[in-house]
Chains A and B, each alone.
Chain A
Amino acid sequence: MVRNFSKLFILILLAAFLAACVEKDPEETASTTEDGETVITLGRVTAANPKLPEGDTYEDNAYTRLVEKELNVDIRDAFEAEGEDYDRQVALAISSGDLPDMMRVNSLDELKELVENDLVADLTDVYDENASDHIKSIYESYDNRPLNEATFDGRLMAIPATIGGNAPNIVWIRKDWIDKLGIELDSDGDKLITLEELEKTASTFIENDPGGSGNPVGIPFVYWLNAGDYGGSAFAMTSIASVFDAHPRHYYENENGEIIYGSTSEETKKALGVMKEWFDKGIIDPQFGTRTWDDITALLTNGQTGIVTGPWHLPDWGLSAVKDMDKEAKFAAYTLKGENDKVNVFQENPVGQFIVVRKGYEHPELAVKILNLFYDDLANEKNIESEYPEIAKYNELGVDGSTRPFNIEVYSSTSQLDDFRKVESVVNGEIPMEEIVKPSIKADAQSIIDYIDNPENAETSSWSKYHSRMFGLGLIDELTKDNKFNWTTPFYVGTTETMEKKGANLLKLEEEDFIKIITGSESLGYFDTFVENWKSQGGNEILTEIEEEIEK
């Protein structure tokens, strides 16, 4: 009896498996609504704090209503998620064979996979026909580098986001402490300081403890020490490395025409030598090697340190707690002068975000039209209050950019500094506020004016904007005008096979060995052993793969 039952059971199981294998009919999706509107299903990358007004959602907000009005398109969300959760939703959509009509992909690797599996539409013709001149000029401002990334065998397979801003790593120093202690820093006023000047400032801070913490620590660095991109360079050694024209974590061509990994270069060794010397002298936080971001913000907020390195927008999210704690706190922005009297900077890699259109979708041109609408028409509309009142209201509320149908940034390589120059002119009273077209930039200018008018009572966010724009971007602007930059352009190839397999181990090797060298458990000579280990444990293979990728 039992045996019969178990046979039956196995049969049922088998039948179930077979049933699962039968291919499902391609799902029929309604591509138009009853009102004749074209439907686009979207994969949306959301943000935690979209600040949407009551009643509005990702699917139904001022931006989607604008698309509906202008393009007669009904946007429906196939899925909304953020971060890793978004990538998981994309994976589920691919494996269930049910891709949304358009979605964002978050890496070049993912795009390659979609292209190889023939899942995304060729956008070459629709882009050529529909993209506005302005959009085309945006991509041209980067020598079409973003478009080339999205091009496979001469066909454009996705709409790329543009590259983030190229900028030097900035050294943020407590201005109020410099004034209090009467430190002489940057006497020629060009905002460039030398390693010696920085060292002297740090040691004066440690001796005098201007923050009154009782336990000053010098310059803190995160334990991972280096970042692969500009945005992640907060509390990293990027600025020290740039003095020697070293670019750790980047692959680039050295002067002999060889492809090298920046972390293994002689220049990086020199930078580590400085770090090591400083650690021995106590210029660097004695607990270096354990510090995380949170620890370092705590050190800053407690007044234990007044010198950190980071990107220009650090005051917006990393330094504001300092102001909350100490009303007097002010920062000044400097950058380290290289041995060659230039500021050595790397060109930022593309952000690796793309909008793809599902293969077989009837209206791929709509992707380009949405692109035109948001990154040309809307971005360049001078009378946004009268033309798009709802959008103007959103800008006032600070609604997050992720609520736009395509959550990518498309702006020209110079737009950041162009915007800044306008803000500066408005702040200096040279042009009226109305000259600024972009609403978010207008809001920035207003914040800065608020702060200048009444620094005592201004909100912390105004303090942040004042610092990040007037000092952070201001510094970049000045250096650009003075032509101080010496650029290195790294290769961008996504993740190669060996990187995927061995990259994590290599990175761990690098992080650990750098900490060992700086804290003195290994001598500086150990760097050469690290380079050998790095090469033999997979580094050489990666370099070969990159070479092959470039030759393609």
Chain B
Amino acid sequence: MVKSKRFSERAGRFIIYATVIFLGLVCLLPLWNIVAISFSSNEAVVANAVGLKPVNFTTKAYEMIMDDAQFWRSFSISVQRVILSLIINLVIIILMAYPLSKTKRHFKARSIYMNLLIFAMLFNGGLIPTYLVVKNLDLINTIWALVLPGAVQVFSIILIMNFFIGVPKSLEEAAIIDGASPIQVLLKVYIPISLPALATVALFSIVANWNDFFQGLIYMTKVSNYPLMTYIQSLTIDIAEMINSGNSNDLQNISEVSNRNLNAAKIVISTIPLLLIYPFLQKYFVTGIVVGSVKE
């Protein structure tokens, strides 16, 4: 009996591990293939000869990117955008979530604000009206066009609000008894205790802002103002569409930048910043901080 139980347990564990490893590989291998492609020579890529190991190892694609002034200009725009958005998002999220986490007794107009937020989350103005607002505020071609339209992240606010609601009331009461003002309660009690949740929404904000290319397309009318993802998107062209309009010299210019191994190198470089950020934020993802802070 005991033996067979052990066996079934082991078999079950084996199946679980095998499944998880398989799923992990499904996610990892395409990325690894991109890395291999980025280090292979162009003709090997065109011949579909690259699997998981670079063929004819070369760093030419990376050298070309290093020489591309616009790539780095766009890179720095993206970095600025992520930092600005992160600060603005977090400040607004905390300042809105805190009052909204209070009961109606403390904050009478709460439900109106909630309804407004949810209304705005479900319905938006649509592309052209939003564009007109941004345009008439003279934000076109400024970094603020990328930051301000996304300043209020309703979903994150609701997430943090719920987290605040879940914080034991006794913690707040204890702080108030010790003479803390509401701001001090927020800064000294709520924020430290909510770091895991805040790290999550921070990550949402960073990833969303880093990966977004569409706003850059709409609000930036000049290539020199494109954020990185917009720039990369603009470089990946379907030659088929270009072919009947351009002359053959221009076609050649295009085929030079829109080849697959150069695109792969761009993808690799553009994911590096996100890969670097994850380990830093991971230390905040420790659950159960609230546990043990009060004895019920």
Chain A positions within 8 Å of B, measured between CB atoms, are 1-2, 5-6, 9, 20, 46-51, 54, 57-59, 77-83, 85, 88-89, 92, 95-96, 98, 164, 229-232, 234, 293-295, 297-298, 301-302, 311, 313, 316-317, 320-321, 324-325, 351, 353, 398, 400-402, 409, 440, 461, 464, 468
Contacts and interface: CB of A to CB of B under 8 A. Distances in A.
A51 B222 contact: no
B234 interface: yes
Contacts of A81: 217, 221, 223, 234
A398 B47 CA distance: 28
A243 B79 CA distance: 58
Contacts of B248: 313, 316-317, 468
A313 B251 contact: yes
B130 to A, nearest CB: 11
Given A6-B112, A49-B257, A54-B69, A317 B252 contact: yes
5 nearest A-B residue pairs (beta carbon): A231-B244, A79-B221, A324-B43, A301-B47, A49-B257
B288 interface: no
Interface stretch (B22-30, B176-184, B235-243): B235-243
B112 A9 contact: yes
Contacts of A234: 243
Given A83-B241, A321-B43, 12 more contacts: A47-B250, A48-B254, A48-B257, A58-B222, A77-B222, A83-B237, A83-B242, A85-B217, A320-B255, A324-B43, A402-B250, A464-B252
B52 to A, nearest CB: 18
Interface SS of B by simple majority: helix
B61 to A, nearest CB: 14
B23 to A, nearest CB: 28
A536 B156 CA distance: 53
B46 A298 contact: yes
Contacts of A294: 46, 260
Contacts of A95: 128, 132
B77 interface: no
B43 A316 contact: no
B47 A164 contact: no
B59 interface: no
B240 A293 contact: yes
A6 B109 CA distance: 11
Interface residues of B, number: 50
B170 to A, nearest CB: 30
Nearest to A229: B244
A230 to B, nearest CB: 7
Contact of B249 (A80, A164, A351, A398): A398
Contacts of A295: 48
B84 interface: no
B257 A231 contact: no
Interface in B216-269: 217-218, 221-224, 234-235, 237, 239-258, 260
A324 B43 CA distance: 6
B46 A321 contact: yes
Interface of B: 41-44, 46-49, 69, 108-109, 111-112, 115-116, 128-129, 131-132, 135, 217-218, 221-224, 234-235, 237, 239-258, 260
B228 to A, nearest CB: 15
Contacts of B250: 47, 400-402
21 contacts: A6-B112, A20-B129, A47-B253, A48-B254, A49-B257, A79-B221, A82-B237, A92-B131, A95-B128, A96-B128, A98-B135, A230-B244, A231-B244, A231-B245, A293-B239, A301-B47, A321-B43, A324-B43, A400-B253, A401-B250, A409-B247
B43 A401 contact: no
A485 to B, nearest CB: 20
Interface centre among B109, B250, B258 (most CB of A within 10 A): B250
Contacts of B43: 301, 321, 324-325
Contacts of B109: 5
B254 A49 contact: yes
A214 to B, nearest CB: 14
A359 B254 CA distance: 34
Contacts of B244: 164, 229-232, 351
Residue of A46, A77, A89, A325 with highest tally of chain B CB at under 10 A: A325
Contacts of A89: 221
B29 to A, nearest CB: 20
Contacts of B242: 83
A234 B235 CA distance: 22
Contacts of B42: 321, 324
Contacts of B131: 92, 96
Contacts of B48: 295, 298, 302
Contacts of A297: 46
A317 B251 contact: yes
A5 B112 contact: yes
Contacts of B218: 88, 92
A67 B217 CA distance: 28
Given A48-B258, A232-B244, A321 B222 contact: no
A123 B203 CA distance: 55
Contact of B222 (A48, A49, A80, A83): A80
A400 B249 CA distance: 8
A303 B92 CA distance: 60
B245 A321 contact: no
A321 to B, nearest CB: 4
A217 to B, nearest CB: 13
A6 B128 CA distance: 27
Contacts of B252: 316-317, 461, 464
Contacts of A59: 222
A402 B251 CA distance: 11
A78 B141 CA distance: 10
Contacts of A49: 235, 253-254, 256-257
A1 B112 CA distance: 11
Contacts of A78: 221
Nearest to B112: A5
A92 B235 CA distance: 22
Given A9-B112, A82-B237, A231 B243 contact: yes
A79 B219 CA distance: 10
A77 B112 contact: no
A89 B217 CA distance: 9
A164 B242 CA distance: 13
Contacts of A401: 246-247, 249-250
A380 B88 CA distance: 56
B257 A325 contact: no
A142 to B, nearest CB: 16
Contact of B47 (A57, A316, A325): A325
B49 to A, nearest CB: 8
Nearest to B140: A79
Contact of B253 (A301, A324, A398, A464): A398
A96 B221 CA distance: 14
Contact of A351 (B46, B49, B129, B245): B245
B234 A48 contact: yes
A317 B255 contact: yes
Nearest to A95: B128
Contacts of A409: 247
A401 B246 CA distance: 9
Contacts of B243: 231-232, 234, 311
Nearest to A311: B243
A6 B119 CA distance: 12
Given A2-B112, A82-B234, A92-B128, A47 B254 contact: yes
A321 B47 contact: yes
